[in-house]
Structure 1
């Protein structure tokens, strides 16, 4: 997906994408590369990141590590400054899949893992990115419709994504004086990435379709546009908000 014209031009933008080794992260890496961005690719697996980087046409740094580590996030920021001179866009996308478990049965360690990766990882990434961004930077965090419309058995995942919506509202106020924006993209049910195994559940698949205004699950081609918009000059006056990309699931 290419964005053309003055407001959609991302050529030369310096973009960090966490969780870039699979699913949405790979899709975003391809989309931003296609639009001329210079990328810092972050995930735990160096091999997966290198595979993504090998498929790109532009410049990409491979930066394996754990987003739950504050020093690692700061090292990513420094690597981007050293290689590209700074950071324009930081996309906090790293996440772990939901664990279906009632609160009374969920192990505390499982709760901590989900919240630490999904929410604390986003906080640490946003923190590191904001510290090195100049005027007009962009912080984008991947959220979920489950953050505002939780389902039973998905308490930890829903809580982490709800926290993301609050995080960007507070962050937007803090970085606004530097013309940096902070927004979330709340994704609905997609047949790719973390949602792929849910799509294979016939009962859940049908339930989602019946409760989605567009009458279908999201596809990979539906994902990148919102992130490209929020990274571009077209969204310069959009901050502290959550852009929902769910085909109308949250309406029904």
Structure 2
């Protein structure tokens, strides 16, 4: 037996992996940057705010590349890919994590401009990031998309957000089929309700806090400690035969 078969834990190592993380300046993205930095990855941090990215970079032990811009811009995504290759010599992992918060409104009351903003950021931004990633990833490359349990179990009043996340999960299936022959995997993580990032607003509402917790198999919200493991797994050699799937990290919310 060769490779990591004799050393099963070695397959989970991401030391030296060159990873792009979008939406890295706050919330769940910020948690991911800390985790990948601690695990020894070389990072490109992407978000709209250069100052916020600078704050994140100062927290890290490594020396990340900072790229401020809009993930809805195709040229910006291409520049991120080019600059990462120039800085680190290539790209191994691209995490499409940038997204905007859901608008709570019935379909009939959802403003079209709000719909476009949510869909363009969440879905189109992911499409453009994945397209840029596909240009520079080699064999063993990873595309990881931050989806949502609301894309698996849509909820009334969250039409734009749920639709964008459902479509992102479908996009991952297509990417896996198209990029598989090149040895590149594509997967999504359907996140549940976390007490940080976009979920923080609901976490502060006592009514929603208890209601959501009651609708999970584990009876609680997710914490920052619950988040990085599945991403680190999908970025590592341990997930080499996992592609085109959506892994739920929701405490069993979709089950109850």
Judge same fold: TM > 0.5, yes or no.
Answer: yes
What residue is the counterpart of 1:153 in the other structure?
157
Show CA shifts across 1:70-113 (max 9, x none): 00000000000100111000000000000101111111100000
| Aligned match of 1:239 | 243
Deviations 1:203-244 (A, max 9, x none): 111111111110101101100101000000000000000000
* Correspondent of 2:211 among 204, 207, 214: 207
Instruction: State the partner residue of 2:103.
Output: 99
How well do the aligned residues superpose, as a CA RMSD in angstroms? 0.8
Point out where structure 2 has 5 or more consecutive residues left out of the alignment. Answer: 1-7
Say yes or no: does 1:223 pair with 2:221: no
TM-score (norm 1): 0.98
Aligned: 1:64 with 2:52? no
Q: Distance in 2 between matches of 1:10 and 1:229?
A: 9
The 2-side partners of 1:40 and 1:5 are apart by 26
State the 1:5 CA deviation: 3.5
TM-score normalized by the length of structure 2: 0.96
- Secondary structure of 1:5's counterpart equals helix
8 Å contact kept, 2:187–2:243: yes
* Displacement after TM superposition at 1:9 (Å): 1.1
How far apart are 1:59 and its partner, in Å?
A: 2.3
- Structure 1 counterpart of 2:16: 12
Inter-partner Cα distance in structure 1 for 2:229 and 2:140: 20
Give the secondary structure class of the aligned counterpart of 1:153. Answer: coil
In the alignment, is residue 248 of structure 1 matched against residue 243 of structure 2? no
Query: 1:150 deviation in Å?
Result: 1.1
Partner-residue secondary structure (3-state), 2:133: helix
Q: What is aligned with 2:179?
A: 175
2: CA distance, partners of 1:133 / 1:167: 17
Gaps of 5+ in 1: none
Distance 2:103 2:205 in 1: 15
Query: What is the number of equivalent residue pairs in this alignment?
Result: 249
Q: 1:27: which partner in 2? A: 31
Partners in 2 of 1:10 and 1:240 — Cα distance? 21
- Would you say the 8 A contact 2:119–2:161 is kept in 1? yes
Q: Secondary structure at the match of 1:104?
A: helix
Partner Cα distance (2:88, 2:130) in 1: 18
Deviating runs (4+, > 6 A) in structure 1?
none
Q: How far did 1:7 drift?
A: 0.5
Cα distance in 2, alignment partners of residues 23 and 129 from structure 1: 23
* Alpha-carbon separation, structure 2, partners of 1:185 and 1:154: 19
Structure 1 partner of 2:56 = 52
In the TM superposition, what is the alpha-carbon distance from 1:31 to its structure 2 partner? 0.4
